[in-house]
Amino acid sequence: MALEIITADGLDGIRHGFFTRRGGASSGVFNALNCGMGSSDQAEIVQMNRARVAEAIGVPHSDLITQYQVHSADVVTVRSAQDRDETADAMVTNVPGLALGILTADCQPILFADTQAGVVGAAHAGWKGARQGVIETTVAAMEALGADRGQIRAAIGPSISQAAYEVGPEFFEAFVDDDPETSRFFANGKDGRYQFDLTGYGLQCLRDAGVETAEWTRHCTYADPARFFSYRRSVHAKEADYGRLISVIRL
């Protein structure tokens, strides 16, 4: 099966893609394009999957860069293919031919580009990272490379939707204690629980950071098992592990 790549209209003109799970070599719960080295999938199969992604995005496998993601606001400025496997949840570069890859399975993959300045970025933004400011630190790191936040375009790829993201009252309270305005990203759920709009929150963070345009592709990872991996769905299904999607951007 061929790889399936979702693109964002707002990033037209820049090489990028939000890859679905279709078209890889993994099997079982990882079927098929699992790109997560942190999973219990066979490492050589994951590397094969990553090589297919690199080929699709037009770079050697060695130039597909990922980091060790920990739900932080830390950003790596990638200047060569050796700037990889650091503890960080976002990357920026102005080096043509280096592809930045973000791994997700419900969290937001966010791709950024200032084509006039020749700077791109990628961020893994779950609720923890977004709340800590990973979106803002990515934009600031792009500015340090010469980007203008008023020219940056950003797109959020497949992520868990509000309808599938149930959280407890302590989660709601933590957000509202930080900023009462964030209450608008919560809807009442069942039995005193809430439904959290992660992508709505991400879009607001992008707007607050001053980016020119921001969009979500409007694909829910939880609701479409044929196309997307989902950590939360795997927990509900009592599966032992789950695959990771990859989202990539390059100059």
For residue 170, count CB atoms less than 10 angstroms from its CB and return exposed for 0-12, middle for 13-18, buried for 19 or more: exposed
The per-residue pLDDT for 133 is 98
**What is the pLDDT, as a whole number, of residue 1?**
81
Using DSSP, state whether 114 is helix, strand or coil.
strand
Burial (Cβ within 10 Å: 0-12, 13-18, ≥19) of residue 153: buried
Q: What does the alpha-carbon distance between residue 250 and residue 247 come to, in Å, rounded to a whole number?
A: 11
Q: What's the CA gap between 124 and 72, in Å, rounded? A: 9
For the chain, the C-alpha Rg in angstroms (whole number) is 17
Q: How many CB atoms lie within 10 A of CB 40?
A: 12
In the DSSP assignment, the letter for residue 87 is B
Q: Which pLDDT tens digits describe the chain residue by residue (251 residues)? A: 899 999 999 999 999 999 999 999 999 999 999 999 999 999 999 999 999 999 999 999 999 999 999 999 999 999 999 999 999 999 999 999 999 999 999 999 999 999 999 999 999 999 999 999 999 999 999 999 999 999 999 999 999 999 999 999 999 999 999 999 999 999 999 999 999 999 999 999 999 999 999 999 999 999 999 999 999 999 999 999 999 999 999 99
DSSP string, 155-221: EE-SB--GGG-EE-HHHHHHHHHH-GGGGGGEEE-STT-EEE-HHHHHHHHHHHTT-SEEEE---BT
In the chain the domains, ranked by start, together with CATH numbers, are 5-250 (3.60.140.10)
